[in-house]
Amino acid sequence: MVAIDFDALTAILSPYFKVNIFECDYEKISPWNKKSGNAIFVCMKR
């Protein structure tokens, strides 16, 4: 397992993918508010 922050992961993925970040609690998925430490990355190949 490797620890990396969201900005670094986005920078690594963005040249190859369109990156969407969502936050997730146990009831809903919504756009990431840049405060939550719980996120799901959804990437679509460019």
Per-residue pLDDT tens over the stretch 11-43: 999 999 999 999 988 888 999 988 888 889 999
Average pLDDT over residues 2-15: 92
DSSP conformational letter for 1: -
The sign of the CA dihedral 36, 18, 29, 40 is: negative
Cα distance between residue 24 and residue 31, in whole Å: 9
Domain count, the chain: 1
Q: Give the residue from 4, 15, 7 showing the smallest Cα distance to 45.
A: 15
Q: Has residue 1 been placed in a domain?
A: no
pTM of the shown model: 0.78
pLDDT for residue 36: 83
Q: Has residue 39 been placed in a domain?
A: yes
Res. 3 pLDDT band, cuts 50 70 90: confident
pLDDT for residue 11: 96
Q: What torsion, rounded to 10 degrees, do the Cα atoms 21, 25, 29, 32 define?
A: -30
pLDDT for residue 30: 92
Q: Which domain holds residue 29?
A: 6-45
